[in-house]
Structure 1
Amino acid sequence: MDCRRSRTTDPEKWIATCPEGSKAVCEELRELIFRWEPDLKESINSNMLCYSLKKRVCGISGFKDHAQLTFYRGSDLPDPMRLFNHGLENASIHSIDLPHGLEGLNQRALRKLLHAAVLLDAEPSQRKPPAPPREEWPMPEVLAARLKKNKAAAAFYDQLKPTYQREYKVWVGTAKQPETIAKRLDETLRALAAGKKWAQRKEAC
């Protein structure tokens, strides 16, 4: 999420001034949201194009090399197609990074996700049904290989509770680009060897 001061309060100007690497995708996302959920109100907040009813439902961010669609109550939404690929360690906000635009994105699943978010916002007092047990996040092979070579990091990782282990697995496992994977692995091993949980990892750098 882009937390810089908004460059404009006008959605049209916001789209017009998006970085070239994400402008077209932001325009497409905006059109889909208007088509699928026309009652949502559009505004600018924290340099994001936001859509609200009672509260903010979702928001679009435009970065230099990709667009991002954020759901403010993402952790409460069903996501059987696993569209969420960013911020999964967060307690509430989850996002969909779109480095390749909408190519390959299951738009039918996205529409269902957006509709579920709108229903959740419309009925905030509705009791949430008991969540099914969260599926265990698979151990990334690259992380497992590095842990075998670093006894201090592996020892601390093994003593972490599953919740804290998951944070590291998600963070490494959701990286796509080789340079991002390498960077997160290095940071992970330094943090674990220093006895730091994921939220404290910056302290070890």
Structure 2
Amino acid sequence: MTRDPRIDAYIEARADFAKPILAWLRDRVHAACPDVVEAIKWSSPFFDYKGKPLANMAAFKTHAAFGFWSRQELATGKEGEAMGQYGRIASLDDLPSAGEIEAQVKSAMALIDSGAKSPRAGKPPKPEAEVPPELAEALAADDAAAATFNAFPPGCRREYCEWIAEAKRPETKAKRVAEAVGWMREGKRRNWKYEAC
């Protein structure tokens, strides 16, 4: 059972209310996971298992926090109240029993052992760009530029549309439309100057 002296120092430097909380949580992690490796990451104590983050804890002015790296899979119902899964921990009474915490540590270990990756919330696709009327009119008059524009992926079309739409003065907008149509006639994307050859 390896204990990192930096975590000893971290606990010792915290407020008196937090010391027993952090020490108790640390003991629960070690009891459930004898192979745990302690570390300091982002200025807080971390517990790693098989080279992967397992859990972390921290202490603040009025509360402590503890959480598992696989937050979605090990939800406790107090997510969002503070860092971690147990909300604001002001005393040991705010935590589940030793058996419950240790069971959750073992569940977190099982997730790491299974190789399961935490699902990331996917970003919804951006809506299709609204084509500025000036650009729509210019494309209607130029079949080659229109064909290129329509063949672009949505992100490329959006770059042209946003670039033209953000122009404040009519002269600037007209200049950008003319440049855009010329570039599209040549099959160029909006930021063609920066693309690797």
- For normalisation by structure 2, the TM-score amounts to 0.50
Larger radius of gyration: 2
**Which TM-score applies when normalising by structure 1?**
0.48
